[in-house]
Structure 1
Amino acid sequence: MADLSRRQFLGGTAAVMALFAGLRSPEVIAAQPRGNGRPLLLTNLRLFDGSGTPLRDGVSISVEAGRIQAILSEPPGAGEAEIIDCGGRVLMPGLIDAHWHTTLAAITQVAAMSADPGYVHLVAAREAERTLLRGFTSVRDVGGPSFALKRAIDEGIVHGPRIFPAGAMISQTSGHGDFRMRHEVPRGTTTPLSAAEQMGVTAIADGEAEVLRRTREQLMLGASQIKLMAGGGVASSYDPLDSTQFSERELRTAVEAADDWGTYVMVHVYTPRGIQRAISAGVKSIEHGQLADEDSVRMMADEWIWWSLQPFLQDEDANVYPDAARRESQRQVAEGTLRAYEMAQRFGVKTAWGTDILFSPQNTPSQGRQLAKLTRFYDPLEVLAMATGRNAELLALAGPRNPYPGPLGRIVPGALADLLVVDGDPATGIDFLADPEQNLRLIMKGGRIYKDTL
């Protein structure tokens, strides 16, 4: 256990973070979260329970031992509970981002690939607090070295959301997760791993044997689900958007290894061919998929596959690319986004929501605003249900690898007490999420209060 290998040193960043735990920037949490062990009783509220049904009045919520104990008719007896008067505001579950890069969202790609590992993780720890203060109490991490940060949050060393980690993104050579420079190719049998592989950002694997090894390594490190790159992307340096990556046999190898551990595989992919190959291999979640055609969408619906979509609309929150080729790929994906949301509803595909902010520190504050964009396609309460109860169903696919057993995303007895009290009426719109500092009045995770301006 004391072996000082490089992998263990990089994986032990929680210890480094502990040295800096007292350093707080002005906009983050100024005090320890409140949680004195007493039961809590939240009263005078309007309830959105995460299901998408209309708001309810005339109820109170009791919280004890980090979980929701009961939904009570008013007026209840307080007993020994601490009463929190919500002032007639909406109480709702904490938000869930189903496509978030915990370690890589708030740092540039150059810094992520060249800075000291400790610096990368300290930046990620600061952003984790900001993520929580935006109302996101859980995230599904879809690629990057988030294991140490997850542990530090769970142990209370730093504050942040619950993290469902995928570990390194598994990519074929020349795939969407191959960040090597041209001078690093070809790689010989004794060539050292690239910087991105050493950091745990990505794992390059070719052939069934290597895919099996890399998948098992992520499971060993604590992955709750596995991420493979099954197609090209917009930001790619080498792989074109229309490329199909990994053979069906390679994909199935990862699926079988994940299934042996009771969990599942998700894939980055855009095109119909890549989507259909992934589904045939047993993949359970399609990430992106904006170039899908009707046949591939029908296949998702028929096989009960999750479609994890993001509002890539080529707007003020979009990445800016200097070259015409990537701008054209971005345009195709933006047009495909409009078709994707329409087809997802028409064919009844199980749809999740996430942001996929990556290497864009200037864009992380837009997390809530990007959720509000979905009211272009859905009723506001349906959007909130997608970012709470629906996303929680996707997280639950991790089965026994779920690091946080218990219902998430819903306000029901027995659920984990991840709660928000908000200024705003989600029955008419959710633009209030674009300004969390003003409009999120109380933030609770696991029954502990991290913000209270009631």
Structure 2
Amino acid sequence: MASRTKRSDRTLAPAYSCLCDKALANYANRRIGADLARRGFLAGMGASMLCTVLPELALAQQPAAAPGAQPTTLTNFRLFDGKAGALQDGMFMVVDGNRISQLRRGTPGATDGQRVIDCGGKVMMPGLIDVHWHTLLAALPIQTIMQADLSFVYLAAGAEAQRTLLRGFTTVRDAGGPAFALKQAIDAGMLSGPRIYPSGAMITTTGGHGDFRLLTDVPRTSGQISEVERTGAAAIADSADEVRLRVREQFMMGATQIKLVGCGGVSTPRSPLDMLTFTEPQLRAAVETAADWGTYVLVHAYTPEAVKRSLAAGAQCVEHGHLIDDRTAESMAKSGTWLSTQPFTSEEDVAPLPPSSREKFLEVTTGTDNMYKLARKHGLKVAFGTDLIFSQVLATRQGTMLGHLARWYSAAESLGMATGGNGQLLALAGERNPYPHKLGVLEEGAYADLLVVAADPLQDMSVLANPDQNLHLIMKDGRIYKDRLKA
């Protein structure tokens, strides 16, 4: 078996070796590859067509440098490395392939045969990470997603992936949806976009958040699969055995971690926030199955009751948590559980909602301030995500959402959360991690995902809310996708 350090080199073309019939195995490989390539081709084709009318996407389609082509030396920058709370001066960096080979003080040695980039004294920082992103839901209204052909949804997602990268987000954790083909297309270089950690279908109960079935689909009979489940957007399970089955299905598809729904949600019309979905044994079945696969579970939970049940089941990450109380926050701190949440502050942070969903969203925003204060009080491990869905315009607010953290954290703390901190959370994927080297930090051996920013974000994080103007260099995996420095 290949070593862990080499797994990133074989994510696109896995080698199968077994004692079964070779002809049958080869046929299966061709069928699986053809199916995934077809879906990836649709996304790539759509992005290419959109590039004819969106010049910035055409830029993203043509990265300036490919990994392994030649080393790149970057000089004359002020460094925020994703860990320290202050900038470091007098450094140089050498990128070789898709990783940082040197990051040291002083001046570089001989640079013959290398590309040399003078950063003009600007700030260099790690690429941003959004750990609650929905790659297939971000750019389209929910009505379109529910009614359109899935191919169209993939086309829109492919275009939005490129825009996401050009906003400076070089990695996202997909928190629910069939993003596997899009991830494969990006990793294969068919599309430009962020690294994706896919969760696969949101696993929920009958009537829970994510159960968008029509009432005519109820009651469910044995073996019946709804259209929502067939697309891979959600998976419904109502017993511990069903939970194990649905979890294993997502891993079979390529999930790096599992998303479970522990309570009601804002966008699902028939799931009040205070409802509970899975029992503790059912949640534990998912946690144990994920551990069998060497990774973890994230649980959608807003209320104290839902969070406590998740903690009791051993979940390592809670999503949202906006309505937690002091005792629940204390329990999270004792267990070391991550709080992956979003700084929702007003209705500007959400697409237009029907009255029932709007009421739930306002309840969530009302709890945001208290949640972050409790997180600070108890020293919780907090991750940054945006959960911006159902609007292409709203998706552009990723950097704006990051700026909201200034109400509770310093700029250095906020940027550290969205880079090095989020990288630590992603590393919980363990044996299912498709990108086993460090993300979210700039250090030797880490992936070469970085931004060069026009102004100092440690002084004013709002510069990241205007990426078109203020991001002068975007590099991901050693490739340059935007370069205004040479201008």
- 1:62 matched to 2:94? The reply is yes
Residues 269 and 357 of structure 2 are in contact (CA less than 8 Å); yes or no, is this contact kept in structure 1?
no
Letter in 1 for 2:161: A
Inter-CA distance 8–175: structure 2 relative to 1 (3 Å threshold): farther
Unaligned runs of 5+ in 2: 1-26
Report the counterpart of residue 240 of structure 1 in structure 2. 272
Q: Among 62, 73, 76, which residue is 1:32 paired with? A: 62
CA contact (8 A) 2:402 2:414 kept: yes
Q: Which residue of 1 aligns with 2:7?
A: none
* CA deviation after TM superposition for structure 1 residue 405, in Å: 1.1
Amino acid at match of 1:382: E
Q: Does the aligned pair in 2 maintain the 1:424–1:430 contact within 8 Å?
A: no
The answer on whether the counterparts of 2:74 and 2:92 sit within 8 Å (CA) in structure 1 is yes
Structure 1's unaligned 5+ residue stretches are none
> Which residue of 1 is the match for residue 5 of structure 2?
none
- Cα distance in structure 1, aligned partners of 2:139 and 2:92: 38
Give distance in 2, aligned partners of 1:77 and 1:277: 57
Distance 2:271 2:246 in 1: 21
Matched, 1:426 2:460: no
- Taking only the aligned residue pairs, the percentage that are identical comes to 50
**8 Å contact kept, 2:47–2:158:** no
Partner AA of 1:429 in structure 2: D
Provide the C-alpha distance between the structure 2 equivalents of 1:158 and 1:426, rounded to a whole number of angstroms. Answer: 29
Counterparts of 1:169 and 1:413, CA distance in 2: 36
Q: 1:342 aligns with which of 373, 388, 391?
A: 373
2:475 is the alignment partner of 1:449: no
Map of 1:16 onto structure 2: 42
Structure 1 contact 380–427 (Cα < 8 Å) conserved: yes
**8 Å CA contact 1:21, 1:157 repeated in 2:** no
* Greater percentage in helix: 2
Task: Report what 1:195 is aligned to.
Answer: 227
Partner of 2:153: 120
> Normalized against structure 1, the TM-score is what?
0.96
The yes-or-no answer on 1:180 pairing with 2:213 is yes
Which among 105, 126, 132 is matched to residue 93 of structure 1?
126
**TM value normalised by structure 2:** 0.90
Report how far residue 5 of structure 1 moved: 9.2
Q: CA RMSD in A?
A: 1.8
The reply on whether 1:360 has 2:391 as its aligned counterpart is yes
Deviates most, 357-366 or 444-453: 357-366
Give a deviation string over 1:266-320, Cα, whole Å, max 9, x none: 0111010110100110111100010001111011100000000101112422333
* Conserved? CA contact 2:47–2:159, under 8 Å: no
Taking the aligned partners of 2:295 and 2:64, their CA distance within structure 1 comes to: 34
1:362 is paired with a residue whose SS is helix
SS of residue in 2 equivalent to 1:316: helix
Correspondence for 2:321: 289
The alpha carbon displacement at 1:77 in A equals 2.1
Provide the residue aligned with 2:428 in structure 1: 397
The 3 A distance-change label for structure 1 pair 9 and 73 is: closer
Matches of 2:104 and 2:32 in 1, distance apart?
53
Give the match's secondary structure for 1:375: helix
- How far the C-alpha of 1:360 sits from its partner, in A, is 2.3
Label 1:403 to 1:5 Cα distance change in 2 as closer, same or farther (>3 A): closer
Tell me if structure 2 keeps the 8 A contact 1:234–1:329. yes
Letter in 1 for 2:43: M
Trace 1:51-450 onto structure 2 (pairs within 5 A): 51-80=83-112, 81-191=114-224, 193-323=225-355, 325-450=356-481
The code of the aligned residue for 1:35 comes to A
Q: Which amino acid aligns with 2:412?
A: L
